Amino acid sequence: MTVQQSFKSMEDGLPRSGFDRKLAHGRRWSRSLSARLLLIAATFIVIAETLIFIPALVSLRAEWIEQRVTAAELAILAGASDGRFTSAASQGALMQSAGISAMRLSSGPDMLFAAGAPPEGRVTRVDPQTESLGEAVSASFEALFQAGSDKLLIEARPGFNAALRLELVASTASLKQATAREAGQVLTGTLAVAGLVSLFLLVALFDGLVQPMRALTAAIVRFRNNPGDPANAIRPSGRTDEIGDAEQALADMQSALRSALLQQQRLAQMGMSVSKISHDLRHSLGSAQLVSERLALVDDPVVQRSLPRLERALERAAGLAESTLRYGRAEERPPMVQPVRLVDLRDDVEDSALAGTSSVSLVADCPQPDIAVLADPDHLHRIATNLIRNAALAITASGRPGTVTVSAEAKPGRIVIRFADNGPGIPDRVRANLFVPWQAAGASGGTGLGLAIARELAVANGGSLDLENTGPTGTVFRLALPDAGQTVQSVQRT
C-alpha cells in the first residue's frame, strides 16, 4: 500500500464535517471573513463619529442659548432711553426673530423690565453658568427628541451689567430644528465616511489577509486529500508577518508528516518482512534443537560441557523469534519473576552479547556476590544482552578497543544496575527517539528495536530503564529492578 493509498483509506474512515460541505458549496458572504472585517470597520467608525457628534450637539445647544441671550440683550437695549426701559417696535421684532416669547430684567427684588406673557405648559429651567456636562448632554438629546411646543426658561447675567438678572422664555422648536439638522448632517457624513473607509479597508484587508488565508486553507485541503504528492505542499510566500509564519510552520509540518508517513510505510514493510523471517527462523531453530538433542548422545566431554549452553542459546533464539512475531501485536509474554543472582547471568550474557566483537571486553563490578533482583530470567537476559550488544557495536564502529562495565548498587527496595562503556557516545539525532521502536538505529545494521524491547521488559518486571549519561567519553544506562532479598523479607514479615 502506498502512502497515497494509506492516506486515502484514513480519509475515507473519517466522517465528513460541515467544513467539507462549506468548501464544496461555498460560503455565504455574510458569514465570510470579509463581511466580518467590513462590519468591524464600520462599527468602529460609527463609534468614533458618535463620540464626535455628542460634543458637537452640546456645543450647538450652548451656542443656541447664547444667541437667545444676546437677542434678549439687544431687545432690552433697543428700548433703553434716558436710563429708562420702554417698549419699542424693534423689541418685538428682535424677540420674534429670536423665538423669545417673554423676558424680564431684575436687580434683586426690583423688576427693571418685563415683556411678553408668562409661559404656559411645561417649562424647563436652564442656567448655563451652573449646568454640568452631564446635564448639558442629557438636555441636548431631550431637545433633539422632544415636542416643539415646550418652553425653555433661560437664566443669565446680561453682558452690559453682570449684577442684573435676565430671564427669558424661548420656544425649543428652533432648537429642535437646529439639532435635527445637525444630527442629519453628522449622520449623513458618518455613513459616507464609514462606507468609504470600510470599502478601502476591505480592499486592503482582502488583499493582505483574506486572500492569503484562502490560499492557506486551499493548501491544507490539497495536502489532506493527497499528502504523498509533493506538488500539494505549500510554498511559503516569504512574508515576514504572522501569515508568513503560519505558511512556514505549515510547510515544515507537511514536510515532517510526509517523511513520517514514508518511514511508516517502510517500517510496515520491514515489519512484514521480519515477521516472515521470524516465522521461517522458528522452523530452522527447531531443526537445530533436534540436532542438539542428538549431540546429547555423544560421549565427548567437550560436547557435554558446551551442550547446555548451546541448548539455552537455541531456546532464547526461538523465544526471540516468537517475541518478534508478537511484538507488533503487543503480546509480550508476562514475566515469571523469581530471584536472579547477577553473577549467574554474566557468562551467558558475555557469550551472546560480545559474539564477533573481539576488541570489546566485559567487566563485572559487583561488590556483593549474592546481590539478586526479582525478575524473569529470560527477560533480564534479553535486557542485559541488548544493552551490552549495543555498547559493543558502538565501540567496534569507532575503530578502537573498549570496555563495557556492568556494576550493581543496592538501594532501598531496588537494585540499580549500570551499563557503562567508553565508546563515542550517542548522537543527538538518535537521542531524541532512543526508546522508540525503529527510530534509534544508530549503529550500522541496527534496527532501533533493542532498546525499545529492553525498556518494555524492564517496565514489565516492575523496574525502569533510562539513559543516565552520554558523551564523547562514553554512555551509561541505568536499569532499576526490585531487590529480591528485601522483597522476600517483606513478604515473609507480612
What's residue 83's pLDDT?
A: 45
The rounded percent of the chain whose pLDDT value lies above 70 is 69
What's residue 338's pLDDT?
A: 92
What's residue 250's pLDDT?
A: 85
Contact 67, 156 (CB under 8 A): no
Judged against a pLDDT cut of 60, whether residue 9 lies above it is answered with no
Q: Point out the least confidently predicted range of 98-102, 224-228, 264-268, 272-276.
A: 272-276
Most confident of 88-102, 237-251, 329-343, 369-383: 369-383
At 276, the pLDDT band (50, 70, 90 cuts) reads low
Asked if domains 233-331 and 335-493 share a fold, the reply is no
CB atoms within 10 A of CB 454: 23
At 477, the pLDDT band (50, 70, 90 cuts) reads very high
- Round the average pLDDT of the chain to a whole number and report it: 75
CB atoms within 10 A of CB 457: 24
Judged against a pLDDT cut of 60, whether residue 88 lies above it is answered with no
Judged against a pLDDT cut of 60, whether residue 372 lies above it is answered with yes
| Superfamily holding 335-493 | Histidine kinase-like ATPase, C-terminal domain (3.30.565.10)
Q: Please state whether the predicted TM-score (pTM) of the whole model is above 0.85.
A: no
Digit-coded pLDDT (tens) for 116-142: 777 776 777 888 888 888 888 888 887
- Which CATH topology does 233-331 take? Helix Hairpins (1.10.287)
- Hey, what's the cell of 491? 513478604
In this structure, the strands spanning 165-171 and 151-156 are antiparallel
Contacts of 437 (CB under 8 A, 6+ apart): 327, 448, 449, 452
Closest CA to 478 of 464, 489, 491: 464
Annotated domain spans of the chain:
37-187, 233-331, 335-493
Digit-coded pLDDT (tens) for 196-255: 877 787 777 777 777 788 888 888 888 888 777 777 788 888 877 788 888 888 888 888
What is the C-alpha separation between 368 and 415, in angstroms, rounded? 11
Contact 103, 152 (CB under 8 A): no
Q: Which residue has the higher pLDDT, 278 or 84?
A: 278
What's residue 227's pLDDT?
A: 78
Judged against a pLDDT cut of 50, whether residue 86 lies above it is answered with no
Digit-coded pLDDT (tens) for 404-436: 999 998 888 899 999 999 988 888 888 877 887
Closest CA to 87 of 76, 71, 74: 76
In this structure, the strands spanning 402-411 and 360-365 are parallel
The rounded percent of the chain whose pLDDT value lies above 90 is 10
What's residue 467's pLDDT?
A: 93
CA distances from 283 to 280, 313, 315, 324, 400 (A): 5, 15, 12, 14, 38
